[in-house]
Each structure stands twice: as structure tokens, then as C-alpha cells.
Amino acid sequence: MYKIAGTGSYLPSKTLTNDDLSKFVETSDSWIQERTGIKQRHFVENELTSDLACKAAENALKDAGITAEQLDLIIVATTTPDYTFPSTAVIVQDKLGAVNAASFDVQAVCSGFVYGLSVAEGYFATKKAKHALVIGAESLSKLLDFEDRTTCVLFGDGAGAVVLSEKDDETSGLISTKISSMGQFVDLLKTTGGPGLTQSAGFITMQGQEVFRHAVSNLKKVCLDMLAENNLEKSDIDLLIPHQANKRIIDSTAKSLSLKPEQVVVTVDQHANTSAASIPLALDWANKQGKIKKGDTLLLEAFGAGFTFGGALIKW
């Protein structure tokens, strides 16, 4: 199986605080912070999702100490690709010079990074990869309707990446992944368009209270189920790295796992909800800040449109 050999991230230079948004959206810093914990977000200006992905990937490769030519696999999790086709992953492959890597996208919105980790698991289990790159990258600002204050304040742009490498010992690496979906709730969180429907991407639309309710219940369930399936207790978790969507959802999950505040990585205040990019952004931040220690058990979890949700247990 695999271990995480390196992490990397990238945020666009343009930053919009809540006060900045309030100049052209009917909202306020207090309104946003009280409901979400978000203080600011980053928006692209002259960059594409593939650009964000490449910069995060380059940082992850440097951290892992391997070259792009050593990669056997590139998976990009995104809901905001450069093109309808080809995939953003093949563009990243070309920009990085990863000539030996099979490359493709996965689309599970906010759960995309966890889905990517799960897909990669199969390649390592069947010995088809020694090194893989899993990236979450989004330009969600392209999908925002700034007339809808209930959604436009929630999202931001960015990218995070991990290099996965074949394990060389049994003391660290992936423990397991778990992914699920509930397509009957597709209308609660979606875009207003798509290539087949309107020939355009559309804008994000969401029934916020219902999404919140489902997120809280399903994240609790997937976390507890993963622990039970791997014969682990709540006390075995050293660090929770959740999808960074809403501080209240993060707090609810942490409470259900009996975790202390210092055991929960929270970065949503700095970059808002970056969908598939949020977990690898938070993971890289925790890694670079020295929050993760050798031997720590990490629990990653995510919930997104579809609904999709899932998690990963990793021994550092």
C-alpha cells in the first residue's frame, strides 16, 4: 500500500476579506464569521485550475524528494476543469513533464480528494504504481453568483497535493479509505448548468440548511464506521483533517469523536471552502507547521454535492 511521501499547496495571490466582499455583496464580516468561521478567501485572476494544480504539485514533489518523471499516476480532483475535455490531469502531466504517468480527473466535488486517495489505493494494491500524485484543485470563483449572498461568500480558489509512494515499512501509510454517495439529494447542492444541460457551467446553488443537516449526520457516521471497521477507538485518532467548509460542521464532527480543539486542523478561516482542494490545503498546512508527528493516526473526512462523502485513515 502507500504512504504520504510529500505535501504541497498553493493559493492565488488575490485575497478578498469579508469586508472586501461587503462592498459589493449585501453581507458583513460578522454575518459570515458567525455562520461559517470564514474570514477571507483567495480568487484567481490570470490563472487556470491547471496552474494552481501544478504549483501545488511542484511543492509536493519537492517535499517528497522525487521528480515528475518518477510518477506513475496523476489524479486531479476538480469540479472546475480548464476544459470540458481533455482532463485537467493531462494538462498538469504535460506542464510537469510527468511523461510516465497515467493521468485523469475525478469529480466528486468537495469529496474529490478523498475519492482520489481511494482510487489510488487500487493502483498500489495491484502493484501498478510506485509513485502517484493526487491533487485537489479548484477555481470556484468562476461558479459564483454574486447576487446570491448565501453562496458567494462561502467559496474560494486554491490547490493542494500529495505524493503517494509505495510503503517501505509496516509502521506508516494508508490504513483504509471509505467513499459513499447518495444521489437522491442531487438537487440540494448543484450548479444551474452544465455542458449537456445548458452548454455553460452555471452558478452554484444550495439549500444551505438541508446540506448542513446531511453533512453533520453523514460525516459523523462515516468517521465512526471507519473506526469500527478498522478496530480503532476514538482515542486512537491523533489529528482530524476535515473538509474545510464550515467551522460549525467541523466542530460537530470533532465533538462526535471526542476530540480536543488542538487535535482538529482548521484553515477554513483563511481560504473558505475550496471544495476538493480543502483537505490537501489543510494537510499541507499542518505538515509544514509541524502539527503532525511520526506515528500519528490521521482521519481525513469530506462531504460534498451529490451527495458524496468519505474518509481516509492514515498512519503518518
Examine the residue annotation and report whether 271 is marked as an active-site residue of this protein.
no
* Cα atoms found within 13 Å of the Cα of residue 226, Cβ hemisphere only: 28
pLDDT recorded at residue 120: 98
Mean pLDDT of the 189-218 span? 97
Architecture of the domain whose range is 173-315? 3-Layer(aba) Sandwich (3.40)
Confidence band of 30 (pLDDT split at 50, 70, 90): very high
Give the closest residue to 107 by CA, choosing from 95, 119, 92, 96: 119
- For the chain, the 3-state helix, strand and coil shares in percent, each to the nearest 5, are 40, 25, 35
Q: Would the CA dihedral through 191, 193, 197, 199 be positive or negative? A: negative
pLDDT value at residue 193: 97
Q: Kindly tell me if the per-residue pLDDT of 169 is higher than 80.
A: no
Q: Which residues contact 160 (CB under 8 A, 6 or more apart)?
A: 7, 8, 9, 10, 56, 113, 135, 136, 137, 277, 278, 279, 280, 281, 282, 283, 284
Q: Where are the domains of the chain?
A: 2-166, 173-315
Nearest to 114 by CA among 315, 301, 313, 314: 301
Residue 69 has pLDDT above 90, yes or no: yes
The mean pLDDT of the chain is: 97
Give the H or E element holding residue 84.
none
Percentage of residues in the chain with pLDDT exceeding 70? 100
Active-site entry in 243, 246, 271, 287: 243
β-strand partners of 25: none
pLDDT tens digits along 2-21: 999 999 999 999 999 999 99
User: In one letter, which amino acid is 37?
Assistant: G
Does residue 273 have an active-site annotation?
yes
Rounded mean pLDDT, 208-227: 98
- What is the rounded average pLDDT of the residues 260-284? 98
Per-residue model confidence as pLDDT tens digits over 82-129? 999 999 999 999 999 999 999 999 999 999 999 999 999 999 999 999
252-265, pLDDT tens digit by residue? 999 999 999 999 99
Please tell me which residue in 59, 246, 273, 287 is annotated as part of the active site. 273
pLDDT at residue 168 in the model? 79
User: In which band, very low, low, confident or very high, does the pLDDT at 292 lie, cut at 50, 70 and 90?
Assistant: very high
Domain 2-166 has CATH 3.40.47.10: yes
**pLDDT for residue 136 is more than 80:** yes
Question: One of 110, 214, 246, 287 is an active-site residue; which one?
Answer: 110
Same fold, 2-166 and 173-315: yes
pLDDT in the model for residue 182: 98
Adjacent-strand bridge partners of 311 = 178, 301
Helix (H) or strand (E) holding 148: none
